[in-house]
Amino acid sequence: MQKAKTESRFALYYELTKPKIWYLLVFTTFGAAITASNIYSIPISGATWALMIGGIAAGSAAANTLTNYHDRDIDAVMERTKKRPLPSKRIYPPEKGRNFGLVLAAISLIMAISISFTTTFEQGFLAFVFMAFGLANNVLVYSYVLKRRSRTNIILGGLCGGAPAMIGWVAVTTMGLWSMGLVMAGLVFIWIPMHIWALTLHFKEDYKKVNVPMLTVVQSEKTSARVIAASTVMMVVFSIIPFFMTTENGEPIMGAIYLWTAIASGALMIALSGWIMAKPTERASWTLFKFSSPYLTVLFIALMIDSAL
Instruction: List the domains of the chain with CATH numbers.
Output: 2-308 (1.10.357.140)
User: Any idea what the Cα angle at residue 300 is, between residues 299 and 302, rounded to 5°?
Assistant: 65
CB 301 within 8 A of CB 31: yes
- The tens place of each residue's pLDDT in the chain, 309 residues long, gives 444 455 588 999 999 999 999 999 999 999 999 999 999 999 999 999 999 999 999 999 999 999 999 999 999 999 999 999 999 999 999 999 999 999 999 999 999 999 999 999 999 999 999 999 999 999 999 999 999 999 889 999 889 999 999 999 999 999 999 999 999 999 999 999 999 999 999 898 899 999 999 988 999 889 999 999 999 999 999 999 999 998 888 888 999 999 999 999 999 999 999 999 998 788 899 999 999 999 999 999 999 999 998
d(CA 240, CA 230): 16
**What's the pTM?**
0.93
Q: By three-state DSSP, how is residue 177 classified?
A: helix
Q: By three-state DSSP, how is residue 289 classified?
A: helix
